[in-house]
Chain A
């Protein structure tokens, strides 16, 4: 845990040093900076590694009887109840609620589990075609134009985050293309993020007043998520694998 979070910190520091040098003139007093408001990336500009997107899940706030995040993801991305011939184990699952129990104390916590958007994603390492890839801003995706459906990535992912589509689909959504013979997983709602939006799960959790999910730019010290991560303890799931996940958890 400690060395991976150091890595994130050093990357953030390097970026902020550069940004700080550029914005130096805007310092109005020691330690007080005029920050420029975040400007939307123009549609014709590529994403860059200046940002790295992440989500912090606070399991203390995650309600055990709630699956608003899962429902919102289904609605946004059009999975769930779209596969009529696959068995339940075969059906797609971009995000799911997981219950964990401390055997000695009996304490039960629930949390949403999805692609952790690893900085060093095993799914990308094993993909023989280059279909699994990580965008410059840290979002891990499957390019279904290239995916041959070998499912190596499903085997490699420590979080069981990926699904394979076993049957022909109809009525897909324009912003979330998906089809038979390819693998898919959480895209961090890339279609929203690219338009300065927030992933559907995070929005839904806030709408339920649970606020267990915080989304933002890990490379920006002033983002909500970075402040939260700096304020209190959080962990990566399977931190021993040193994947430096973009999704972090607190309370477990």
Chain B
């Protein structure tokens, strides 16, 4: 559900409330005091969606199937050591995490952020982030993606992480 659809639904509710109100003398007065939902404010979710880079699949496909993609990837990586990046949860986070005013990454599961905004609306719990990183930690290894943060400690063992030196594995 897009923000526009949510906004339409909410304004529809407001409109029907208006119509049902028998004494709708002045819309402004009523809105301020009596109307149901009159204190409801919609905030634009902080979804970080790149204007220049495509997602790994069309948006409609991702909306419907992202959970299947990452579930499949999860088993492939965990049990068979397949480490393609296209449906890697880490790459989702790398791309979709937004930054705050200080330029620090906000967790993707924080209120109103990329993952949580939809999941809260749909009332579907996300279990991923009990274990998985919620912010970018190292550069993206998905071909053609802009780099994100480096490991804060400068990389494990102070040497370049093996992931950082082997580029071009994205499928």
Contact = CB atoms under 8 A, between A and B. Distances in A.
Interface in B136-169: 137-138, 153, 156-157, 159, 161-163, 166, 169
Given A180-B130, A196-B166, A203-B157, A173 B83 contact: no
A173 B133 CA distance: 6
Given A43-B83, A191-B163, A195-B162, A143 B78 contact: yes
B46 interface: no
Contacts of B74: 145
Contacts of A145: 74, 78
Contacts, number: 86
Contact of B131 (A47, A75, A172): A172
Chain A contact-residue range equals 35 or more
B171 interface: yes
A134 B135 CA distance: 30
B64 interface: no
A201 to B, nearest CB: 10
B90 A174 contact: yes
B165 to A, nearest CB: 8
A177 B82 contact: no
Interface string A98-138: 00000000000000000000000000000000000101110
Nearest to B164: A195
- Most chain B Cβ neighbours within 10 Å, of A136, A175, A179: A175
B84 interface: yes
A135 B157 contact: no
A113 to B, nearest CB: 20
23 contacts: A43-B85, A43-B170, A44-B82, A45-B82, A46-B80, A47-B80, A47-B81, A135-B81, A136-B80, A168-B130, A172-B131, A172-B132, A173-B133, A174-B90, A175-B90, A177-B133, A191-B162, A192-B161, A192-B162, A194-B83, A195-B166, A196-B162, A200-B156
Interface of B: 74, 76, 78-85, 90, 93, 130-133, 135, 137-138, 153, 156-157, 159, 161-163, 166, 169-171
